[in-house]
């Protein structure tokens, strides 16, 4: 890319520039048929149960990744406030795991026998690869933002006015779709990511963009898996 254009994008926000550039893939991950089927009320409960059980395993694997981002922030960040933002996210995962257990119980999904499906195994393996100290804070925080943003944007659609989301799924959607916690949390992560990307080297920028694309692809595969298309 031309140097001047790149400098301009860094100034206005790398994340926004990447979302424009990769709009098609981003929309694919945030407007997936699984989400649209919740939004229009046609979702099959089996798909929902599959998603619930698989996402429980995913969230358990998200804990060590989130903790690794926290460590990177503590070691590498130029702003101490980053640690609080990430810590809030880490802390909320405990409540999230309890919620999965309650929700699974409500739907009669036995979490103790859940076997992770291939897309889930791959996604969790990808998360684990990002834990490595060789992965820089800037790259890891970009991934973390993307992981949370896809869920927020997806589920926010399902609680929009006029959506036909089944009442028994509203609480699930509000968990990730709400502005008060999750929306603001994503905004804070995005701000950190943009700040870091602004100062990043070309090589780091490239790595962060590749990681963002990988997250979007894994999210797509995860939704496909939930619909039974592995
Ligand atoms: C697959 C997936 N992506 C993102 C999130 C956000 O926490 C989640 N729970 N599961």
Nearest protein Cα to ligand 1, atom 4? 147
In this predicted structure, the answer to whether residue 205 has a pLDDT above a threshold of 80 is: yes
Q: What ipTM does the predicted assembly reach?
A: 0.98
In this structure, which residue's CA is closest to atom 3 in ligand 1? Answer: 147
pLDDT tens-digit readout, 46-90? 999 999 999 999 999 999 999 999 999 999 998 989 999 999 999
> Ligand 1 mean position to 62 CA, how many Å?
8
- How far does the centroid of ligand 1 lie from the alpha carbon of residue 222, in Å? 9
Average pLDDT over residues 158-175: 96
When pLDDT is averaged across residues 147-154 and rounded to a whole number, the result is 97
Question: Is 147 touching ligand 1 by the criterion CB < 6 Å?
Answer: yes
| Res 84: pLDDT | 96
Check residue 229 and give its pLDDT.
Answer: 73
3-state SS, the chain, equals: CCHHHHHHHHHHCHHHHHHHHCHHHHHHHHCCHHHHHHHCCCCCHHHHHHHHHHHHHHHHHHHHHHHHHHHHHHHHCCCCHHHHHHHHHHHHHHHHHHHHHHHHHHHCCCHHHCCCCHHHHHHHHHHHHHHCCCCCHHHHHHHHHHHHHHHHHHHHHHCCCCCCCCHHHHHHHHHHHCHHHHHHHHHHHHHHHHHHHHCCCHHHHHHHHHHHHHHHHHHHHHHHHHCCCC
User: Average pLDDT of the chain?
Assistant: 95
Percent of the chain scoring above 70 in pLDDT? 97
Instruction: Find the mean pLDDT for residues 108-126.
Output: 96
CATH label of the domain that carries residue 105: 1.20.910.10
Domain count, the chain: 1
Tell me the whole-structure pTM to 2 decimals: 0.95
CB-ligand 1 contact for 148 (6 Å cutoff): yes
The residue range of the domain holding 16 is: 2-226
């Amino acid at each position: 890319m031309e140097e001047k254009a790149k400098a301009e994008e860094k100034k206005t926000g790398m994340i926004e520039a990447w979302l424009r550039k990769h709009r098609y893939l981003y929309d694919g991950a945030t407007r997936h048929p699984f989400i649209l089927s919740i939004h229009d009320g046609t979702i099959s409960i089996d798909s929902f149960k599959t998603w619930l059980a698989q996402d429980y395993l995913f969230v358990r694997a998200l804990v060590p990744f989130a903790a690794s981002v926290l460590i990177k922030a503590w070691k590498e960040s130029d702003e101490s406030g980053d640690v609080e933002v990430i810590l809030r996210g880490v802390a909320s995962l405990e409540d999230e795991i309890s919620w999965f257990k309650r929700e699974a119980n409500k739907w009669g999904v036995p979490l103790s026998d859940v076997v992770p499906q291939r897309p889930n195994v791959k996604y969790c393996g990808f998360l684990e690869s990002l834990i490595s100290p060789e992965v820089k804070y800037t790259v890891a925080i970009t991934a973390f933002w993307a992981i949370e943003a896809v869920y927020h944007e997806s589920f926010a659609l399902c609680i929009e006015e006029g959506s036909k989301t089944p009442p028994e799924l509203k609480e699930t959607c509000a968990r990730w779709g709400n502005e008060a916690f999750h929306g603001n949390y994503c905004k804070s992560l995005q701000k950190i990511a943009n700040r870091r990307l602004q100062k990043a080297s070309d090589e780091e920028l490239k790595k962060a963009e590749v990681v963002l694309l990988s997250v979007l692809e894994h999210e797509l595969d995860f939704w496909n898996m939930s619909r039974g298309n592995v």
